[in-house]
Amino acid sequence: MAGFAFKQFTVAQSRSAMKVSTDGVLFGAWVCVTGAQRMLDIGAGTGLLSLMCKQRAPSLAIDAVEIDAQACLDAVDNINASPWQGIAVHQTPIQTFVSGQPYDLVISNPPYFNHSLKGPDAARNTARHTDSLSFVHLIDAFMRRSHSKGRLAVILPAHEGHEFIALAQQHGLHLALRCDVSMTPDKPVSRLMLEFHRDKTTQEQQSLCVRNKMGEYSEAFIDLCRDFYLKM
């Protein structure tokens, strides 16, 4: 399968179970990298999110952690072919990953299927189901690997997003920023993009519709993603 070409880099994805998606691009363009010097990308896959954040903040030092060996091969190739240095790929479960310094920002487009039927593709099951990375493991990884002012950002389907918010609150995290994503104006919210802090803060609420009534990309989506998609 040919790579997915963006304006400043290309994502090879022939070996990874999870391909480039609108969700991933949307999240990579949305997540706030302002002020961050060190970032951890949990479940990095092809390296898409790390590359998008690096394009937006070239001085950002990034550790990209991915459990699947084939996805890691794609990520290494994509990062080596990109214009940037300073992204290190680690093939390991986040539960055993060791880092010397705490992170300012932890991001993840995590697995979210908790109880659904699995398919025959083991790598795709790992990428999509929470067996290898539960929500509790993700929150714990953030708490142990970030400092007191660190931020956690995730994207999830709406139902699982609400579950994650409740779980994060149980672990002492506070929702600082929430963006409700719908695909078209007449469809319900399908994705939540969320940012959590340890300190209690006033929650900022956003909403974004990917396409307008004519089925074209909305102005809000174009404004957010125009630095990445070739035809925007």
pLDDT at 149 over 80: yes
Give the domain 4-225 fold.
Rossmann fold (3.40.50)
Structure tokens at 114: 């908790």
Chain segment 64-91, per-residue pLDDT in tens: 999 999 999 999 999 999 999 999 999 9
Are 107 and 44 in contact, with CB atoms under 8 Å apart?
no
Nearest to 39 by CA among 19, 13, 65, 70: 65
Chain segment 178-193, per-residue pLDDT in tens: 999 999 999 999 999 9
Q: How sure is the predictor about 112, in pLDDT bands with cuts at 50, 70 and 90?
A: low
Report the pLDDT averaged over residues 8-17: 90
3-state SS of the chain is CCCEECCCCEECCCCCCCCCCHHHHHHHHHCCCCCCCEEEEECCCCCHHHHHHHHHCCCCEEEEEECCHHHHHHHHHHHHCCCCCCEEEEECCHHHCCCCCCEEEEEECCCCECCCCCCCCHHHHHHHECCCCCHHHHHHHHHHHEEEEEEEEEEEEHHHHHHHHHHHHHCCCEEEEEEEEECCCCCCCCEEEEEEECCCCCCEEEEEECECCCCCECHHHHHHHCCCCCCC
Report the pLDDT averaged over residues 6-13: 94
Report the pLDDT averaged over residues 126-144: 76
Chain segment 188-223, per-residue pLDDT in tens: 999 999 999 999 989 999 999 999 999 999 999 999
Q: How sure is the predictor about 13, in pLDDT bands with cuts at 50, 70 and 90?
A: confident
Q: What is the pLDDT of residue 111?
A: 79
Report the pLDDT averaged over residues 12-41: 93
End-to-end CA distance of the chain: 23
Neighbours of 188 (CB within 10 A): 8
Environment class of residue 215 by beta-carbon count within 10 Å: exposed (0-12), middle (13-18) or buried (19+)?
A: exposed
- Whole-number average pLDDT of the chain: 90
Nearest to 125 by CA among 136, 135, 113: 113
